[in-house]
Chain A
Amino acid sequence: MQPTLARKIARRVMALALLISPPDSREWAAAMAAELDHVEGSFEALSWSIGCFGTALKQLCISILSPGALAAETEGSMSKLAKISAIVLLIGSSLFLFAPTFQQGVKLTASSWHLSDDAWLSEMRKLGAQAEASHDARALAFVAMQLNDGGESDPRIGAKDHSLRDKFADEAVQWNAGLTWIYYPILSRDWSPEARDPNDARWSARLEAWNPNNAAVYAREASFYLPRGVTGVNPQAGRNLLANSPHWLDVMAKAFSATEYDSYVSRKSALDLKVSESYGIYDPARMLRGIAFYPIFENVNLELYAKNFLLKSGESLKAKGDLRGAKEEYWKVSHLAGLMQLRGDNDTESMIAADMQLAVGPSLEDVFRKSGDTSAASLVAYQTEMAQQAKTRVMTKYSPAKREAEYRPFDAWLVQSSLLGMALSLLLILCSGIYLMAKRVLRYQRMGGVSRLFARGGIVATALLFISAVVMYFAYSPYATAFHVYLAGSTPRDTFEELAKFGLLQSLPTFVFEWFLSAPFKVVFWYTVIALGGAIIVWILYRQISRAFRHSAPVQPVA
């Protein structure tokens, strides 16, 4: 009869078992192999050979780890082997501590379990005090902005820390005037007139004096002068409201006449990186938030001024035949759009600039053509086309599929799970260690169920620890590469792309925590309690019934 595939595999496995068997137990391997031909059924034969292979492998491990143990093997030898394995696994896990990737992974993942900003703010206060003592203006500026960012996420904390933030910001600028720009992100924390910072007038004046040709500074200031309800009324009423707001008109005119544009995102990103490196403070997700939620200004101001005044005025002048005047009005909008597209550092700025160019482009091109300046008209057409492309690029970039690929949800779960696995196994090892140590001190020799549970639990925990450490190392590796690129990054766009990868990894605990507190979780939780309770009752009943049957069975005869 032709042997089946399963039986052929079984023979191969058995041959392998014979091959790996140490000399001491080769006779036993041969004995197991001799039985294979008598095993009925192909799959039973395969199962038989796998069992034999496992036995041979166990003998091989014993002979390697403990030479001579085979000769003196007793029933306790497996426990000795298990102890040796546990020690090897513990040493193996400890070796990961020397790997920088592993260290960084554990540190960053563990830091994401601080579910409130308190620990970070406390660290920032300490850093502020240290920077003050060493007259480190950059670090002070960093701290001032971080205390401000903390305020963004929790207004109570922000309000509590304002005095310290103001002090640090002023000291930083006093020691290094080149840091005056830090007032911009600090003041942009809230655009509503009610939340206007008490320092706004003083700091705005300093910003304007320091960089008088920056459109971003005026656009930010305009938010506080924007009349209430202007977007909720009909266009004519809205225009009337704006026309009667001299402060708003004044700062918007300055914004559209400015020759520069800088929202200081690049400076903030570079400062974050520099100070993080100097003081060894690495929190990619926080740095990411600092850039992703960077307050530029309320862009509705630009849109309202361009649409209600510059474009309208241009149309009116064109209708009157004043092409030169119309061109000047349109050009202001196109010029600011070009500046923002060129100097802006983030996607929001790119989108605002693209919208402005798309709004003014056709009108400006038309005026140039009517003036006979076809080269300029072609150039404007080209700019408009570029604006359309920039807008499409940004919109494609934020497609859900692309975001998911960048956020690496599976890797994030693996990294977070491995940290949990390590924490759990360490706890188990600690408990087992304490229990077994206490047992030894008290000279309690009996190996009962609890002792066996702790001993086995401790050994299993070392395996879990090792597996978790391996998973942490390999799952975190792509993040380590991203972090390396971030540290070497030159532009905020580059750094943002790399930091974005940490977004999900470091915000997972918060998501999970919020989900636990959510209403659907509460429902799921109570259903789980009911289901578990039911399962326990069924299990107890099953045990009782099966016991009753077992006790009724006849006792096996003893020869």
Chain B
Amino acid sequence: MSQQTVALFTEFLVQPREWRYGYDLSRETALKSGTLYPILMRLNKRGWLETRWTAPESPGRPPRHMYRLTAEGLHSAREFVTAKTGRLQGRRAAYGASRV
């Protein structure tokens, strides 16, 4: 799993049941549109991401696409993020030990 995907999972896990806009996700994760959307497409194909269209906020604007992790997606995201965090903590411990 790429670092960018893990970053996106982490962002979804902040408010797991909330629907999120693509631009908001991009801003929060600092992922460019060319990186973010291919990941969203992949997650959607795997069945880890659900999507829906919302009505435009003002007349004349197009409807917006929103995203949220499915139950399976949430489970996987937690696993990946925990594994990543565990690795980081392990490295930090090793780093701290080596400094002693």
Contact = CB atoms under 8 A, between A and B. Distances in A.
B21 A559 contact: no
A399 B96 CA distance: 71
B14 A74 contact: no
A555 B41 CA distance: 28
A34 interface: yes
Nearest to A557: B14
B65 interface: yes
Interface string A63-78: 0000000000111000
A51 B34 contact: yes
Contacts of A25: 41
Interface string B84-97: 01001101100110
B79 to A, nearest CB: 11
Interface in B56-100: 61-65, 78, 81-82, 85, 88-89, 91-92, 95-96
Nearest to B23: A35
Given A555-B89, A558-B78, A559-B13, A35 B38 contact: no
A39 interface: yes
Interface stretch (A52-60, A282-290, A301-309): A52-60
Nearest to B38: A55
A32 interface: yes
Q: Quick one: which of A27, A47, A74, A559 has the most chain B CB within 10 A?
A: A559
B35 to A, nearest CB: 7
State the majority secondary structure of interface residues on A: helix
Interface string A25-43: 1011011111101110000
A551 B23 contact: no
A551 to B, nearest CB: 4
A73 B45 contact: yes
Interface string A523-559: 0000000000000000000000001100100011111
B37 A55 contact: yes
Nearest to A48: B33
Contacts of B32: 47-48, 51
A16 interface: no
A558 B13 contact: yes
A173 interface: no
Contacts of A75: 1-2, 42
Nearest to A54: B34
Given A48-B33, A559-B14, A73 B41 contact: yes
Given A74-B46, A551-B95, A555-B89, A35 B64 contact: yes
Interface string A195-210: 0000000000000000
Contacts of A381: none
Nearest to A37: B61
A50 interface: yes
B33 A73 contact: no
Contacts of B21: 35, 38
B45 A32 contact: no
A27 B91 CA distance: 42
Contact of A55 (B16, B34, B64, B92): B34
B95 A73 contact: no
Given A35-B23, A558-B82, A50 B88 contact: no
Interface string A489-532: 00000000000000000000000000000000000000000000
Contacts of B88: 555
Nearest to A52: B33
Nearest to B25: A35
A547 B82 CA distance: 20
Interface in B31-55: 32-38, 40-42, 45-46, 51
A551 B78 CA distance: 21
Q: Quick one: which of B34, B40, B45, B62 has the most chain A CB within 10 A?
A: B34
A30 B62 contact: yes
The 3 closest A-B pairs by CB, nearest first: A51-B34, A31-B65, A51-B33
Given A34-B65, A38-B23, A55-B38, 5 more contacts: A25-B41, A28-B65, A50-B34, A556-B85, A558-B78
27 contacts: A25-B41, A27-B65, A28-B65, A30-B62, A31-B22, A31-B64, A32-B33, A32-B37, A34-B63, A34-B65, A35-B23, A37-B62, A48-B26, A48-B33, A51-B35, A52-B33, A52-B34, A52-B37, A55-B34, A55-B38, A75-B2, A75-B42, A547-B95, A551-B95, A558-B10, A558-B13, A559-B14
Interface of A: 25, 27-28, 30-35, 37-39, 47-52, 54-55, 58, 73-75, 547-548, 551, 555-559
Interface of B: 1-2, 10, 13-16, 21-23, 26, 32-38, 40-42, 45-46, 51, 61-65, 78, 81-82, 85, 88-89, 91-92, 95-96
